[in-house]
């Protein structure tokens, strides 16, 4: 199983992250929350990076644009993820909002120095290190998986991270456009569509509408994420 989004829900230990999390929640009443509405930008590539942001709710999209104008979706950020790690003093991606939500803004220095708040510092550091691992997982996917495998992996992750179980099946939303999924997986829109269609026609998933997926056969979906 691959984790393809920015902060993994791996089965590995995450330092004493859980512990950090509890403490941060207590503090959060005093923290600068920020409400976000769809379409809004949290930051742009090249902006000075004054903060890193922890997603509390909603869905963010991280993108970069190449010289030739084509766009790459680097990650979708879900609750629990941390975005905005600086490169030098600057943000190196665009970040905009796909689903209304809320983030907590931490001053960059909370990441860079543990002097004021060691617990928060460690927490952000964990997030950065986990980010590295998550991206390495994503590498494997971009480099080594076929189109159907990529799409199945993506659906698996969305199901695990955002799905709800109604007693029968897991259901989840795909709030992003097909073109976003394609740009994330390094595919074309059409290829993504066809892969989804194939999963639907073979009874692995069902679509209530284009953005709402029901996992009918979790085992076969997991299977479809694996090469050979």
Where do contacts with DNA occur on this chain (CB under 7 A)?
Answer: 146-148, 177-179, 186-194, 196-197, 207, 209-211
The residue from 41, 140, 179, 202 that contacts its own copies (CB under 8 A) is 140
Rounded to the nearest whole angstrom, what is the least distance from the CB of residue 208 to its own copies in the complex? 29
Sites for its own copies among residues 89-108 (CB under 8 A): 89-90, 92-93
Please choose, from the candidates 83, 221, 101, 228, the residue with its C-alpha nearest in 3D space to the C-alpha of residue 160: 221
Rounded to the nearest whole angstrom, what is the least distance from the CB of residue 148 to DNA in the complex? 6
3-state SS, residue 171: strand
Q: Residue 57: name its binding partner from its own copies, DNA, none (Cβ under 5 to 8 Å by kind).
A: none
Sites for its own copies among residues 68-87 (CB under 8 A): 68, 70, 72, 74, 85-87
Please choose, from the candidates 85, 128, 127, 79, the residue with its C-alpha nearest in 3D space to the C-alpha of residue 104: 79
Rounded to the nearest whole angstrom, what is the least distance from the CB of residue 212 to its own copies in the complex? 26
Sites for its own copies among residues 163-202 (CB under 8 A): 183, 185-186
Q: Residue 131: name its binding partner from DNA, its own copies, none (Cβ under 5 to 8 Å by kind).
A: its own copies
Q: Residue 194: name its binding partner from its own copies, DNA, none (Cβ under 5 to 8 Å by kind).
A: DNA
Interaction between residue 138 and its own copies (CB under 8 A): yes
Q: Residue 125: name its binding partner from DNA, its own copies, none (Cβ under 5 to 8 Å by kind).
A: its own copies
Tell me whether residue 68 or residue 168 sits nearer to DNA (CB atom): 68
């Amino acid at each position: 199983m691959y984790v393809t989004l920015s902060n993994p829900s791996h089965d590995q230990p995450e330092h004493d992250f859980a512990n950090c999390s509890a403490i941060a929640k207590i503090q959060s009443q005093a923290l600068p929350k920020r409400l976000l509405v769809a379409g809004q930008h949290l930051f742009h590539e090249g902006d000075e990076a004054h903060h890193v942001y922890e997603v509390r709710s909603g869905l963010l999209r991280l993108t970069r644009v190449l010289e030739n104008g084509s766009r790459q979706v680097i990650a979708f950020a879900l609750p629990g993820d941390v975005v905005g790690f600086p490169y030098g003093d600057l943000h190196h991606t665009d970040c905009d909002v796909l689903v209304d939500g809320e983030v907590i803004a931490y001053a960059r220095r909370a990441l860079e120095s543990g002097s004021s708040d060691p617990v928060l510092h460690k927490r952000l550091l964990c997030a950065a290190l986990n980010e590295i691992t998550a991206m390495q997982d994503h590498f494997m996917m971009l480099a080594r998986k076929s189109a159907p495998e990529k799409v199945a992996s993506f659906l698996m992750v969305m199901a695990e991270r955002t799905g709800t179980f109604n007693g029968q099946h897991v259901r989840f939303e795909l709030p992003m456009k097909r073109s976003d999924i394609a740009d994330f997986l390094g595919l074309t829109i059409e290829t993504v569509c066809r892969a989804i269609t194939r999963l639907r026609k073979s009874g692995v998933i069902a679509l209530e509408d284009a953005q709402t997926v029901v996992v009918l056969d979790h085992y076969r979906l997991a299977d479809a994420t694996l090469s050979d």
